[in-house]
Amino acid sequence: MSRADTVDDRNRTPAPVPAPGPTPAPARTANWTWTFGLLRSELLTTFRRWRTLALLGVLAAVPVLVGIAVKIETSDGSSGGPGGGGGGEGPAFISQVTNNGLFLVFTALAVTLPFFLPMAIGVIAGDSIAGESNAGTLRYLLVAPAGRTRLLLAKYATVMIFCLVATLVVAVSALTVGALLFPLGDLTTISGTRIGFGDGLLRALLIALVVAASLTGVAALGLFVSTLTSSGIAAMATTVGLLITVQILDQIPQLHALHPYFFSHHWLSFADLMREPVYWDDLEKNLGLQALYAAVFGSAAWARFTTKDITA
């Protein structure tokens, strides 16, 4: 190298070096925007499907059928159900429907919770991952900068929002039918005390939220099953089959030691919200058990999905 070249190199202006610093805020904003956009896309896709609308339609029809049946049954002035409303089990609310249409909300939730609501959740959850794989769209979803964990969380959040919407559909339908067919007003709790109609509406909303929360275990179970297969129909059928099996086992007296660990065992504990004062023991057991199922099967779904070989 010549002396002239050395002098020329010394006289060159060095290129500016960018100062180190944290990740720019716009990048983080873009990540959050993408996350909410993914959730929004999942919600729109789910609630635009005819299958989803059909499930919500069936759930909305159940309170109508129950209300009409009670109205016909009590048209001669007889009691609306056996036992005169004692107990505290959900179906016993049906004996109070003729006195106050608000009880139709509690009755409809008690009727749909053992099968109709969990079946609908099982269909949506079971199809969440397996349906995408069967349709050949799962690989394209993962090409976008979402990541498997974020996509799985968006799927689970969508199922949970469907849980809430499905429960509210039953409650609103029952409240509408109850207002049309039966009188409304102050109501008598299971404990025999009187509460105002506004307090009754608040308790009805709280019961609907508890019922929706009671389905988180089924949602996590269905999501896990959905990661095990590429067939949406197989995942839905397996989830619903497990749901029916657990509820059958929960009715076998010889398995009483296992009953408290079944996710469906404390479902009807929402009736304790209609006591004065409220009994919280079974409600806390129910919500704690659902949280445990959600944690176990949610973790299993994450472990399976993040290591799964996506071919479709």
312: CB partners within 8 A, 6+ apart: 133, 134, 136, 138, 139, 230
- Identity of the amino acid at 160: M
Residue listed under structure tokens 């053992």: 114
Q: How confident is the model at residue 34 (pLDDT cuts 50, 70, 90)?
A: low
Residue-wise pLDDT tens digits, 261-289: 999 889 989 988 888 888 889 899 999 99
How many whole angstroms separate alpha carbon 111 and alpha carbon 267? 11
**Nearest partner of 102 among 225, 199, 29, judged by Cα:** 199
Look at 127-136, 164-173, 237-246 and tell me which has the smallest mean pLDDT.
Answer: 127-136
Q: How confident is the model at residue 135 (pLDDT cuts 50, 70, 90)?
A: confident
Q: How confident is the model at residue 75 (pLDDT cuts 50, 70, 90)?
A: low
Residue 221 has pLDDT above 50, yes or no: yes
**Nearest partner of 216 among 308, 301, 95, 103, judged by Cα:** 301
Residues 170, 104 contacting (CB under 8 angstroms): no
Residue-wise pLDDT tens digits, 222-254: 999 999 988 888 988 999 899 999 989 999 999
**Nearest partner of 284 among 260, 300, 250, 258, judged by Cα:** 260
Residues 222, 299 contacting (CB under 8 angstroms): no
Question: Could you tell me if residue 216 is left (phi over 0), alpha (psi between -120 and 50 degrees) or otherwise beta?
Answer: alpha
DSSP of 213-270: HTTHHHHHHHHHHHHH-S-HHHHHHHHHHHHHHHHHHTT-GGGTTTGGGSTTTTGGGG
Between 227 and 137, the higher pLDDT residue? 227
